[in-house]
Structure 1
Amino acid sequence: MTDHDTETRLRDYLHTKAQVVPDHATPPEPVASVHRPRRTWPVLAAAASMAAVLALAVPYLGGLGSDDPPVSAGGGLSSLKVPYILTEGPGSRTLHDGTTTIPLGNGPARDVVARLATGWLVVTAKTDAGKRVTLGHAVLTKDGRLRPVGPSNAMQNAILSPDRKQVAILGQIAGGSFKIEVIDLATGNKTADLPLPSLVALHAWSKHGIWYDDDTAANPQLWQPGEQPREVEIPGFTSITAPGTTDRMLIRTQRDGCVKVMTMDESGELTTLRENCDSTSDAGLSPDGKVLVIPELQVAVNVDSGEQTPLPDLSNQSVGLVFEDDRTVLAMATLAVSESQPTPTTPIRTLEAHQLLKRCDVLTGTCEKVFERLPGTDDPTIGIGQP
């Protein structure tokens, strides 16, 4: 899988999520990117450059081909254990979470990141008089109110603290520099910040702190708010994800092409619990850290025993896996995207997508279809968030 393939599929996904974008909209000012191989983190910057109006919520983009095994009919959208937003047309969006529905209309809330104790963390997009799009984040309360949090010009998606009481967001500040801000979600107050001279990749927030990196060092930086960041030696480091509910982390290294489930002790020493060096695409780790899902190899691996469970083909470019719980993972496929050009009577670009959302049991390897949206229909499109 080449970087071009990654960017193409990511662009298609962002176009799909944007739904409708004013043809004359002005994107935010582009920012300098960090040139490191196979980096998919500057998604908001990519979205901005395409005048897309929302950020990613880390659904899984597994392209499903004609040779893939069929999936059984599932319980439908009502069976989902994660929050999601349905877009039924221009100006008509609704957040769903279990039996709760929050009409969003054509307001600034565009995508749901995760469920919180008091509501949901969402991505917002606002367009000023000059048609310039600004991306940010907000807490959507259960009565439908939006409370902005963090910088109004977010450069990446937010990452939640392990206890989900705080959020870290990267924003751009005057003079072209950047800053990671830590926000208390209960009050909206900033509790810490870290000024940075250049754009960085904000990866994850584990119990050890916030992980980020840029091209000024070969290794990632680990920042515990209130302390100074420190470099952690991980040869060939590419990316890290941390469920937050366990001390286990999923680390990808470029040099050996491996995905590794690792832990870190109090002294900072890393220990590898399980690794696989046969995949070049992304992988996912269950919330309890016990199951490693490798879509390219079509397997779910027991981290402790090494036992493998075959999975259907989910291999065509993953951007992330959304686990409903320790046992079930959601796979979102965007099979095709088409675009209609503006006309004198319809001055917007409309996007048609074929979406397929399915749920897989990582212990049995069985999958079921939860939702499908066919192009050329009036069916809604869906965007899913973290539970």
Structure 2
Amino acid sequence: MNDDFYKIRRLPPYVFAEVNALKAAARARSEDIVDLGMGNPDSPPPAHVIAKLAEVAAKPDAHGYSASRGIPGLRKAQAAYYGRRFNVDVDPGTEVVVTLGSKEGLANLAQAITAPGDVILAPNPSYPIHMFGFIIAGCTIRGIPAAPGPDFFEKLDRAVRYTVPKPTVLVMGYPSNPTAETVDLEFYEQVVAFAKAHGIWVISDLAYAEIYFDDAKPTRSILEVPGARDVAIEFTSMSKTYSMAGWRIGFAVGNRQLIAALTRVKSYLDYGAFTPIQAAAVAALNGPQDCIEEHRLLYRRRRDVLIESFGRAGWDIPSPPASMFAWTPIPPALAHLGAVEFSKQLITHAGVAVAPGTGFGEEGEGFVRIALVENEHRIRQAARGVKKYLQSMGVNAGGPVRAAG
């Protein structure tokens, strides 16, 4: 029997596996590890959302199959969110579908709209599903810059001109995971114009829509651009905005043809999220929104403590303008270790877990992603561990850098 499965061959070993195994082993030895690796919110959802979940779950008729595309009330609630947040009028019947988190939606859309051999443009580094959702579908990935800098459109144009076959899809996500970069509406206007000129679909990942730190510059949606729905679809999620990561509720909004394709594939694969969860998501979107600002302020405070305490420890952290992550260069004196080995040494010698940058693409080498998912006391504890580790490596003392034993 042949067990050399084609799609599995296209998936490299999980980069985070070594770090996760080391973290698990340390915890099995009862070591205290400050986990700044996975972007898992540590705050609970709002109380009224949990109450709605319990209320609907108590109903005897709430435990059957749900609706794959999402219950009508939830699709209407998401459409209302786009209306009040982005001043975008979307049709909940034809331009919104509920997904089992944005990750599932992205992967199923890849299956719906591509064929083996298609070329997809995706940022590098980026959230792994942006690339691997399409790799699983049999596509080829051509990397483009994650940073929306001056050369972004130059490299995008080059990718279209010199790639055979011509790319069919452009994937992007801002605020970026992992790099935390943001874009303005002018950037999206250029993207939409480029996509229309070259006949390319655009997939926008807006999972961190509500986590931004400059109140004068709230995140924007690509769907705010006139005509964007001719070429674009956008994914959002309840995970970070309402601290509902484990509930697995997300949305796709935008182009009707893409929504219809995703809806059709999903109809063969799932019956939708548990109805009480969908009802609670309606309560989150339609109810009090105080938690959004509370979470934003919480992550801002943690960001500031991270930058201040790690800076004093000898590790300069660039200040992220958005998201719940800091995309951080390895200290120059230790850059030779590489992202994975550096991350492993942080667990062993500092008691701190981070995500190695190479888990987000080869352009992530030399970086780690630090998640703002521990409280301020724990972040300061992490900084003390980092300081001891750096001093043991001779970084702060000015002596020679040596390999940790």
**TM-score using structure 2 length:** 0.23
Q: Which has the higher helix share?
A: 2
**TM-score using structure 1 length:** 0.24
